[in-house]
């Protein structure tokens, strides 16, 4: 049954059919095989049930907040702030890229938004400073993958709905892994800058007056992640309500703080938010249909039995799952891969006594690697679009960053305390 489902799914993907329709077709095939008929009313019910979820309401709000902040000048100020403190170091703009991406990740929750906002500002500056375009683009897209790991995170919201676990704990679980990825990327960048001292020179050091001014200018942007995390941790609002808080905050800062957000921007922002939200929700609805009949066909139970027949050691099973996810991430985008595989893999993980919170963070971190690998890496294509370089030109310098992300993945896989330390503080 699993072979048939995956065969239909990938056959549709290779015809360049949109992912949501691929999931829908695969789900209908399973429905026909398990029930003997296709009932349109049940198809509609399953899809509506999939998106009829309170936690999923956070997605449109965080999408809207990200658009408001980008137009409202927050991303520019984050870059200026990071540059004021790190711009004078050898290859400083590379460190600025990673730090700015980590800060923006605490606002947007999206890899594409993170890469677009930071890359569109920093890539031209890095070119002006004489940085190699392919190296700069590779670092920008690698840093963009931190977006779905550091809270807030839209993939973790989706996983929380699938696994019926606390989204707040998933958010907290992503903090340390996200920082580790950022540190790992900066280590790789340090090695590269030392090898090419002729290109990556020290920039002009900002005075403390300039640093204070940059901090004052960016203070509203810097505060927001702490407002979101503080509110969730203290129980003042839920992870879903945090999206609403982020939108209100972005509107106030954009209109009255930085005064760069105008009424003429609102309609285009709402249109972009509606498009991105609709595409995500359609995929969620189609995946819910497929997941229901995957469960009905007892595919998770069969796969659990097959894997446990190989080994009952959690370390071995997590190794096999990580390898599977790394391969799937190369040919499928993060959200559909999460929606398809999470319902299948969660029963396996829980049967081994592992926490679904821990597994959710590992799964998201794993699939984030796939968004910068060909042939379907969405963030890879964003980077190529920003730099006007071919995929081959960007992939080669990306390999060391991908390698360090895989290393971090296995560190958090086999040291679960790195993920669970902060969530355990929540009780």
For 312-315, the CB contacts below 8 A with 24+ separation are 312/352, 314/352, 314/353, 314/354, 315/414
pLDDT of residue 118: 86
How many domains are contained in the chain? Answer: 1
pLDDT of residue 415: 95
pLDDT of residue 427: 67
What is the arithmetic mean of pLDDT over 170-186? 94
pLDDT of residue 298: 77
- Residue with more model confidence, 237 or 179: 179
pLDDT of residue 222: 83
pLDDT tens-digit map of 198-243 = 666 676 788 888 899 999 988 888 888 888 878 877 778 887 888 8
pLDDT of residue 359: 96
Residue with tokens 């839209």: 154
pLDDT band at 322 (very low <50, low <70, confident <90, very high): very high
pLDDT tens-digit map of 106-115 = 777 778 888 8
pLDDT of residue 197: 67
What is the arithmetic mean of pLDDT over 177-194? 93
| 410 has a pLDDT exceeding 70 | yes
**Predicted structure pTM score:** 0.86
What is the arithmetic mean of pLDDT over 146-167? 89
pLDDT tens-digit map of 288-299 = 888 888 778 777
12-21, 41-50, 194-203, 298-307: segment of lowest average pLDDT: 194-203
- Residue with more model confidence, 173 or 298: 173
163 Cβ partners below 8 Å, 6+ apart?
342, 346, 356, 360
Domain of residue 251: give its range: 2-425
- Encoded tokens for 215: 């901090």
pLDDT band at 138 (very low <50, low <70, confident <90, very high): very high
pLDDT band at 330 (very low <50, low <70, confident <90, very high): confident
pLDDT tens-digit map of 388-408 = 888 889 999 999 999 999 999
């Amino acid at each position: 049954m699993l072979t048939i489902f995956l065969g239909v799914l990938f056959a549709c993907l290779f015809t360049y059919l949109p992912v949501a329709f691929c999931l829908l077709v695969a789900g209908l095939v399973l429905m026909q095989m398990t029930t003997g008929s296709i009932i349109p009313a049940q198809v509609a019910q399953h899809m509506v049930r999939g998106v009829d979820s309170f936690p999923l309401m956070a997605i449109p709000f965080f999408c809207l907040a990200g658009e408001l902040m980008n137009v409202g000048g927050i991303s520019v100020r984050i870059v200026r702030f990071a540059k004021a403190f790190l711009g004078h170091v050898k290859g400083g703009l590379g460190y600025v890229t990673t730090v700015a991406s980590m800060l923006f990740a605490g606002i947007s929750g999206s890899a594409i938004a993170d890469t677009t906002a930071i890359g569109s500002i920093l890539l031209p500056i890095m070119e002006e400073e004489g940085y190699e375009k392919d190296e700069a683009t590779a670092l920008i897209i690698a840093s963009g993958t931190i977006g779905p790991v550091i809270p807030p995170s839209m993939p973790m919201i989706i996983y929380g709905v699938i696994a019926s676990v606390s989204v707040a704990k998933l958010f907290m679980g992503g903090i340390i892994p996200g920082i580790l990825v950022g540190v790992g990327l900066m280590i790789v960048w340090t090695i590269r800058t030392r090898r090419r001292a002729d290109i990556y020179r020290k920039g002009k050091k900002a005075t403390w007056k300039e640093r204070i001014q940059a901090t004052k200018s960016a203070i509203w942007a810097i505060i927001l992640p702490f407002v979101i995390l503080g509110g969730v941790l203290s129980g003042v609002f839920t992870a879903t309500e945090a999206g609403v808080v982020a939108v209100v905050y972005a509107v106030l800062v954009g209109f009255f703080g930085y005064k760069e957000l105008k009424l003429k921007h609102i309609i285009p922002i709402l249109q972009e938010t509606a498009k991105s939200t609709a595409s995500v929700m359609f995929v969620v609805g189609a995946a819910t249909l497929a997941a229901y009949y995957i469960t009905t066909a007892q595919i998770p139970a069969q796969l659990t039995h097959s894997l446990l027949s190989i080994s009952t050691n959690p370390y071995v099973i997590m190794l096999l799952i990580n390898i599977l996810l790394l391969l799937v991430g190369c040919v499928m985008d993060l959200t559909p891969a999460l929606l398809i595989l999470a319902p299948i893999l969660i029963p396996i993980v829980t049967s081994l006594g592992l926490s679904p919170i821990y597994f959710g963070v590992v799964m998201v971190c794993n699939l984030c690697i796939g968004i910068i690998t060909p042939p379907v890496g969405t963030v890879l294509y964003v980077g190529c679009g920003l730099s006007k370089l071919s995929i081959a030109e960007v992939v080669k310098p990306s390999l060391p960053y991908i390698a360090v992300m895989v290393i971090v993945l296995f560190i958090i896989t086999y040291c679960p305390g790195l993920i669970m330390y902060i969530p355990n503080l929540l009780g």
